[in-house]
Amino acid sequence: MSRFAACAAVVVAAGVGGLLFQPVFTLSALLAPVLAVCGAVVVADLAAVRAPAVLRVPLALALGLVALIATVLRPTLDGVLPTAATLHVLGDGVLRGWLRTLESTWPARPEPDLLLFVPVLVLLIGVLGVECLRRDRSPLVALVPSLALVGLSQAFSVADDGNALLFGGGYTVAAVVVLAAAKSAENRAGPSSGHRRTAQLRGSLAGYALPAVVTVVAIAAGCLAFTAWTPLSRPAYSLPAHHQPPAVTSVLANPLDEIGSRLATPAAEVFHARVSAPVDRWTVSVLNRFDGVNWTSSARFRPLGSSLPALTGVPTGGPVAEAAVALASAPGAWLPTVTRTDHVEGASPLVDTTTGTLLSTQATEGLAYRLFWRPPSVDAKKLTSSDVDGAADGLEPVGQLPKEIAPHLREATGGSGPSLRTAFVLEQWFRKNYKVASGEDIPTGHGYAQLEFFLGSSKRGTSEQFATAYAVLARAAGLPVRVAVGFRQPTAAAGGSIVVHNGDVLAWPEVAVRGVGWVPLDPTGTATADAGRQESSVAQATDDARKNLPPQPDTRPQPTPDVPPQLAADGTPWWVWAALAPLALLLLAVLTPVVVKAVRRQRRHRGTPEEIVLGAWLDARDRLRDRGVTVVPGMTVRDLAVEVGAGFPAAVTHGLAELSQCLDLALWSGWDVSPDVVRRAWSASDAVRTASRGTLRHRIASVLAVRSLLPVRA
């Protein structure tokens, strides 16, 4: 197997490291540029075989740059010629693309200034690995850069089980080829027959494949046993977790404060839309913090990538729905969206990954975009059988209610604890006792002072007062509630298009339900008032749940059930522990001699020249001990050669003879030990190791043998 095959395998290993970024970008976005730069490095290495070595790196970089331009930077070209934009995107993508990718949601958009850093890393690491091999460096050294790239990709995002197995297997195969090809090239000295070359190749592959496979299987088994026995209590290190996107510094108008002004001009158009699925409400902002005066949001906005991951535990059904939205005026930076955003076309907004709300990064007047979302799939039975989710993110207690407001909470809920029934009871209480304000005299504000006047005196208000008063009382009752602001869905015109006006503005509370997500409520009774309009599954399930309120839950303390004796404290059956204990001991017994021998062999390569030559002799001796050869104290190299006798190939005896000469020169000649003697000693030791391998059974037995780890005894 040639040195060229080893170089190609090093490049493949670098390519595997690049493809491991597929959680960050989609695999389809990475495949073409990574394959292109890998091919460029391989072609450059092949073309530079007969050229001066100094030309190899510039040629590889030049061909790699051409591959990058053809696959990633094509939108910046003028025909086939690079432009100033090409150079700008190239520099910006290399220097800052990785940082902007960390700030984006994943998978990120496959835009050149974001994607570029991955194939550039593959190109540089492939060139570096090839140079290490061509300059006669160790094949392990040549694999270090690609291994670093693999580690970097996992710091961005850890691959899931399937991809880890697939790409890990690919990297292992590439590494075995690199090691075997490099060893074969070293052993090819002088002419040899075809059969001998085939035997050398098989020996090289088997010699490196066996330890590689054993190590991979052992590590995999160890990881499975460890995670089953002791589950990790903390997530893996992640770069995105340690890099938060910069906060939005521009002053944004609170949509909740704009409800009064919008209702003053109800006929003004806000946006046009054409939808493919039922829509109940259009959300522009979600507010979850209240300081007694204002409701604000804890949203952290970051660039929206190719799509937004679905929330864990929230059921969705059917295909992704879409809507074509065209803003009729300049409504500010907020963009209308529906439930859980999936992705957006025609705009590059910022998104809050918790709520899915969108923020425009460009002028919004006249902006048109296509919105895609995942319709939730919920039925009334599931909703009524679920409980509120007290662990919902981003909720803070409102503190103690003012004495003027606190009595309304007991009147509304009757002192009931936090439950879905309490949420519906509180909603019905608002509908029965308060009226929606209309006309010119429209109240505004949502601080404690305005809510006190609304609840105790006027008993009339807009959705601003209804939603915020509901949220304050619900939070005080222990319900996980937040406030959303947006627009109700008007009746569709002919052709399915709708026009949303200022008069459709609406604020509403949302309650977190375990296994369902955030369920919108309607204390005003006006959010779904239009007849003949299709409702989403959540709206239908909520309407059915209102009509059939669950019974008052039993709040009496329940006895704690005894833990069955067959379960451990963490719920793990005893037989799992009993089965894993022997597996762990077996794994330890297998790995210990392998690791100790590898460390011992590396240490014998260090020290003075005399110590290194002596280490070569000890390594050959211990190899033969593991193969069953008897060694006694005081035995010399020549004595060991006699002991080996005819039980091993003649190459073992020849290697020991060469090793004996090197040992005599190092220990008894009185001359300085030259590097050539050191090299000859370890070459002879390696020859003994190679020739004494034997059958596959012998190799496995010698790998697991512990005889050479024990002192030599008579």
As given in the structure block, the two tokens for residue 352 are 């809050």
Q: What is the DSSP letter of 523?
A: T
CA torsion sign, 262 to 267 to 268 to 273?
positive
Run of H or E residues at 488: strand 481-488
pLDDT band at 204 (very low <50, low <70, confident <90, very high): very low
Q: Which residue has the higher pLDDT, 269 or 587?
A: 269
Run of H or E residues at 508: strand 505-513
Residue 59 CA to residue 54 CA, distance in Å, equals 9
pLDDT band at 635 (very low <50, low <70, confident <90, very high): confident
Under DSSP, is residue 347 helix (H, G, I), strand (E, B) or coil? coil
CB atoms within 10 A of CB 340: 20
What's the confidence (pLDDT) of residue 249? 52
Residue 2 CA to residue 184 CA, distance in Å, equals 7
Q: Name the least confident of 277-286, 314-323, 644-653.
A: 314-323
- Which residue, among 282, 330, 298, 341, has the nearest Cα to 484 in the 3D structure? 282
- Which residue, among 398, 513, 498, has the nearest Cα to 447 in the 3D structure? 398
What's the confidence (pLDDT) of residue 439? 83
As given in the structure block, the two tokens for residue 239 are 């770069």
Secondary-structure percent of the chain, ordered helix, strand, coil, rounded to 5: 50, 10, 35
| 474-481 average pLDDT score | 92
What's the confidence (pLDDT) of residue 229? 43
pLDDT band at 248 (very low <50, low <70, confident <90, very high): low
Expressed in angstroms, the distance from the first to the final Cα of the chain is 44
Residue 175 CA to residue 129 CA, distance in Å, equals 12
* Cα radius of gyration rounded to whole Å, the chain: 36
CA torsion sign, 585 to 590 to 591 to 597?
positive
Residue 646 CA to residue 630 CA, distance in Å, equals 14
Contact of 662 with 642, CB cutoff 8 Å: no
Percentage of the chain with pLDDT > 90? Answer: 37
Q: What is the DSSP letter of 573?
A: B
What's the confidence (pLDDT) of residue 488? 93
Which amino acid does the sequence have at 219?
Answer: I
As given in the structure block, the two tokens for residue 683 are 């070459």
Greatest CA separation found in the chain? 112
What's the confidence (pLDDT) of residue 185? 56
As given in the structure block, the two tokens for residue 476 are 């005080």
pLDDT band at 222 (very low <50, low <70, confident <90, very high): very low
| 419-441 average pLDDT score | 91
pLDDT band at 284 (very low <50, low <70, confident <90, very high): very high
pLDDT band at 474 (very low <50, low <70, confident <90, very high): very high
Cα–Cα separations (whole angstroms), residue 106 to 322, 472, 653: 20, 35, 61
Q: Name the least confident of 203-217, 338-352, 593-607.
A: 203-217
- Which residue, among 503, 504, 517, has the nearest Cα to 282 in the 3D structure? 504
Cα–Cα separations (whole angstroms), residue 598 to 166, 250, 262, 420, 592: 27, 59, 75, 62, 10
Query: Which CATH architecture does the domain made up of 380-490+503-547 adopt?
Result: Roll (3.10)
Quick check: 534 pLDDT over 60? no
Q: Name the least confident of 187-201, 337-351, 491-505.
A: 187-201
Run of H or E residues at 351: strand 350-352
Q: Which residues contact 406 (CB under 8 A, 6 or more apart)?
A: 400, 476
Which amino acid does the sequence have at 258?
Answer: E
Per the DSSP assignment, residues forming a β-bridge with 512 are 518
Cα–Cα separations (whole angstroms), residue 592 to 215, 585, 598: 12, 10, 10
Under DSSP, is residue 195 helix (H, G, I), strand (E, B) or coil? helix
For 538-549, write each residue's pLDDT tens digit: 778 888 877 776
Per the DSSP assignment, residues forming a β-bridge with 83 are none
Which stretches within 627-714 are classed as H helix? 637-644, 650-667, 675-691, 696-704
Contact of 3 with 27, CB cutoff 8 Å: no
Under DSSP, is residue 609 helix (H, G, I), strand (E, B) or coil? helix
Quick check: 7 pLDDT over 80? yes
Which stretches within 20-116 are classed as H helix? 27-47, 56-71, 84-103, 112-115
pLDDT band at 497 (very low <50, low <70, confident <90, very high): confident
Contact of 469 with 455, CB cutoff 8 Å: yes
Q: Which residues contact 539 (CB under 8 A, 6 or more apart)?
A: 278, 280, 520, 528
Per the DSSP assignment, residues forming a β-bridge with 301 are 352
Q: Which residues contact 681 (CB under 8 A, 6 or more apart)?
A: 612, 613, 616, 617, 659, 662, 663, 666
As given in the structure block, the two tokens for residue 622 are 């211990």
For 108-148, write each residue's pLDDT tens digit: 999 999 999 999 999 999 999 999 888 876 788 889 999 99
What's the confidence (pLDDT) of residue 188? 53
Q: Which residue has the higher pLDDT, 145 or 381?
A: 145
CB atoms within 10 A of CB 527: 19
| pTM score above 0.85 | no
What's the confidence (pLDDT) of residue 182? 64
What's the confidence (pLDDT) of residue 183? 64
Q: Which residues contact 691 (CB under 8 A, 6 or more apart)?
A: 648, 649, 651, 652, 655
Quick check: 569 pLDDT over 50? no
Contact of 425 with 479, CB cutoff 8 Å: no
| 662-681 average pLDDT score | 88
Under DSSP, is residue 104 helix (H, G, I), strand (E, B) or coil? coil
The mean of the pLDDT values for the chain is 82
Q: 59: number of CA atoms within 13 Å, CB side?
A: 18
Give start-end residues of each CATH 3.10.620 domain in the chain. Answer: 380-490+503-547
Residue 542 CA to residue 516 CA, distance in Å, equals 11
What's the confidence (pLDDT) of residue 495? 64
